[in-house]
Structure 1
């Protein structure tokens, strides 16, 4: 029953900032530096990839501040795209968001939680079989992932304050833990390792598992940077989740833009410092060849010895649990806005007695659990970095469009550095996407296909609506 007709604004600036930072930091920072190092082969270029990703993230976040102040309501990016372009573009984002971007990310983060829990409880390993149904085998890690997703969904159906408490506690815990890891790591820096890694810091090449290297042509080097950025962009994504929950933020015209700036800045600084620490305790070869790409585990073992594995496992468990809470809390608000526009199931557009979209939360939960069972979420996440950046570029172009379409609209906050910084982001985003199309087509076409599959779905929904109205 829909007992409440509107969201309750109860999230302060601190809560919104914790949502931004908490949704960004999952397990990526502990893993993706291995693949980045294999692509670029040097400490300088490793840091450059993280710096350029941080610059793009901050620029996009500062640009979104204008849009969030113009449209301070639930749905965020879906609403911005709909207003700047048309309902179809907004729907394609919402469709991609529901089918893959948010639900597969929730699944991947949930399984990451379970994988690192298995360091402490081996019986939960992803390599074991808990259920064999013939057509599918399910590991204990997948079952634990589903349990966590269901638990966090239930907590968030109890009201925004329940999700807020979990988010703030776990985000603060992981920020302090990451800072602790960085500080201990910097004290453990080995002069010989540091010198070796930074001696030829700007010599770019691919670094293979056997230690051999191969150089790039200039254009191929740009392709290597784009390929490397797939991981860093995924690790820095989901910062925009706070815009989805705008209807529940106090003074949203001010606090959403501020939380975007503060949250992305905090995470960018932490990511840069973490990678500086990696290059001080591990050789580039060790980073590139870390077991299952778990650079964080390898570094922690160097810093803390035999207890390093337990320490990093606990840190990643806290990190992924908090990350998934933020993703689950915010995602359902997009589907709610789509349902209000009659582009999604009608029931998703209702609020439960706790003033949250309960049905939307449970529907998201079901899809995320199915992705957990599929085991294919990791492949898809590599493939959607392209689509995610395409929609970011379209949204930032939307700032220019809306300034023409709505010149007199209230803009309590304007995009920082407009028009220069937004234009730089647009150019960088388009270059990233074009380079991926050329050098990593497997990372582009599946995500693009899923997005474009939403076009016939959109027209089918509209046709159904017209027939219902005619009847």
Structure 2
């Protein structure tokens, strides 16, 4: 395999990423990506599936432990190979440039830009409910607000890394304060709600293996996104030490927040009440603050959506930049703005792609959201391959300095791969049982990968290009 360029060094362009991000900024990016709207929905599903408070809390704690194991694996990869390409760079080194490009295609089409558009719609839906535009109707109003959010945040990114970092830190602070408000609201309610127990509580035997497994699917989806720290590993100060600390501190903070928020839900609503609630956070805040509670939860969801969109834009554009560095046909994406310290061209392309997806969403409505959700097997496939990449690179590239090594190797990496494989199987099972437009939803991910394979074949001549690593 030809030697790969390292996009963290100036081997092809004078401008390249510099270590400018402080530790707390990277923590804000990770927390902002992970703590999405799921924490306002999935706790009710997990409560219904586990049927018992002890098992419910164990599921959320176990999700934090599994995420911590994965973070240890990524800490080794990111500290040994700090690069703006993140997973793309790890997959390319381990399996070759064709697979790396296929991942970059999937990430651009559905994993990143799809998430940006989908979360922008979440923001737009809530804002449209608060500030309706009668002449447009709810769907177009939501799309308009979603597009404005993408444009404004893209403008912040294009202004430079400092403005992005400030925005992310403040959005994350507001997000955390909002979650703590949910916890404080639980304290303000003197008498918890009494809900008839329709959930089978069985502390002795616990939930069935299939029920607990499905509960963990929702828990791990709510924890998802911490791996995005790898995409700023070339820009964090003292990367060999701080990338590990950023991942560890973030997972611990997120786990503590999730346990606290679930405790707040449980204290007020109980396990059965959580399972029956359709809007668990809204119910809690409405009980604590009356009609104002509905406004508070709407604002909290909107801030959470913006926080995640902003953080996703940061890491998403870095993939485009890294691909542009490696592939001559896409060299335009590999331009780095030295004064603003951002991949300007990649940000523009990402913005346009997200706006196009928002336009599609305005036309198709729920079909667009389903399309993004039904591509989850694609995400878990590449996540699994990233875990395998750690094992491959340990054997193939033993001479590379590894400032951090996964403890209990290879047990923990194998555990992480096993969890990813289970999530891949679970997501495939779910998608296979769904349909969209009369077609089995499993074909959506297949189409994404097939189009990516065609792209790889069209660009295959550049695989013979010779690169030297500085």
* Fold match by TM threshold 0.5: yes
The match for 1:22 is: 32
Whole-Å separation in 2 of the counterparts to 1:325 and 1:439? 29
Cα deviation, 1:343-391, whole Å, max 9, x if unaligned, reads 7622111123523111111111111122223234421343233322222
Q: How does 1:49-198 map to 2 (within 5 A)?
A: 49-121=59-131, 123=132, 130=136, 138-188=139-189, 190=191, 193=194
**Structure 1 position 407 matched with structure 2 position 413:** no
Whole-Å separation in 2 of the counterparts to 1:465 and 1:422? 30
Report if aligned partners of 2:121, 2:142 keep a CA contact under 8 Å in 1. Answer: yes
Pairwise CA distance, 1:167 = 0.4
Whole-Å separation in 1 of the counterparts to 2:27 and 2:418? 28
* 1:406–1:422 CA distance, 2 compared to 1 (3 A): same
Q: Greater CA deviation, 26-35 or 105-114? A: 26-35
Q: How does 1:54-453 map to 2 (within 5 A)?
A: 54-121=64-131, 123=132, 130=136, 138-188=139-189, 190=191, 193=194, 200=201, 202=203, 221-222=209-210, 224-284=211-271, 286-290=273-277, 293-342=278-327, 345-352=330-337, 353-375=339-361, 376-438=367-429, 440-441=431-432, 442=434, 445-453=443-451
* 1:283–1:115 CA distance, 2 compared to 1 (3 A): farther
- RMSD over aligned CA atoms reads 3.0
Pairwise CA distance, 1:191 = 5.0
Q: Greater CA deviation, 6-15 or 175-184? A: 175-184
Whole-Å separation in 1 of the counterparts to 2:216 and 2:447? 21
Whole-Å separation in 2 of the counterparts to 1:108 and 1:44? 33
* 1:371–1:25 CA distance, 2 compared to 1 (3 A): same
Pairwise CA distance, 1:446 = 2.7
Pairwise CA distance, 1:101 = 0.4
Report if aligned partners of 2:168, 2:311 keep a CA contact under 8 Å in 1. Answer: yes
Cα deviation, 1:185-230, whole Å, max 9, x if unaligned, reads 245374564995998255999xxxxxxxxxx9x5xx52x4454444
Report if aligned partners of 2:182, 2:281 keep a CA contact under 8 Å in 1. Answer: no
Q: Greater CA deviation, 39-48 or 64-73? A: 39-48
Cα deviation, 1:38-73, whole Å, max 9, x if unaligned, reads 555554454444333322222111210000011112
Whole-Å separation in 2 of the counterparts to 1:280 and 1:448? 44
TM-score by length of 1: 0.85
Report if aligned partners of 2:328, 2:462 keep a CA contact under 8 Å in 1. Answer: no
Whole-Å separation in 1 of the counterparts to 2:190 and 2:118? 32
The match for 2:4 is: none
* 1:88–1:189 CA distance, 2 compared to 1 (3 A): farther
Whole-Å separation in 2 of the counterparts to 1:310 and 1:226? 35
Pairwise CA distance, 1:163 = 0.4
* 1:344–1:318 CA distance, 2 compared to 1 (3 A): farther
Pairwise CA distance, 1:465 = 7.5
* 1:266–1:310 CA distance, 2 compared to 1 (3 A): same
Whole-Å separation in 2 of the counterparts to 1:43 and 1:76? 38
Whole-Å separation in 2 of the counterparts to 1:343 and 1:452? 22
User: Aligned to 2:83, what secondary structure does the other structure show?
Assistant: coil
**Structure 1 position 33 matched with structure 2 position 4:** no
The match for 1:210 is: none
Cα deviation, 1:106-130, whole Å, max 9, x if unaligned, reads 1111111122224532x16xxx772
Q: Greater CA deviation, 274-283 or 67-76? A: 274-283
Whole-Å separation in 2 of the counterparts to 1:408 and 1:3? 27
TM-score by length of 2: 0.85
Q: Greater CA deviation, 357-366 or 25-34? A: 25-34
Cα deviation, 1:276-321, whole Å, max 9, x if unaligned, reads 221222255554454xx43221221122222111111222222221
Whole-Å separation in 1 of the counterparts to 2:406 and 2:93? 17
The match for 2:455 is: 457
Report if aligned partners of 2:84, 2:319 keep a CA contact under 8 Å in 1. Answer: yes
Report if aligned partners of 1:94, 1:335 keep a CA contact under 8 Å in 2. Answer: yes
Pairwise CA distance, 1:153 = 0.7
**How many residues align structurally?**
441
* 1:314–1:435 CA distance, 2 compared to 1 (3 A): closer
Cα deviation, 1:217-253, whole Å, max 9, x if unaligned, reads x5xx52x445444443333222222211222211112
Cα deviation, 1:82-108, whole Å, max 9, x if unaligned, reads 111211221222111100001111111
User: Aligned to 2:291, what secondary structure does the other structure show?
Assistant: helix
User: Aligned to 1:410, what secondary structure does the other structure show?
Assistant: coil
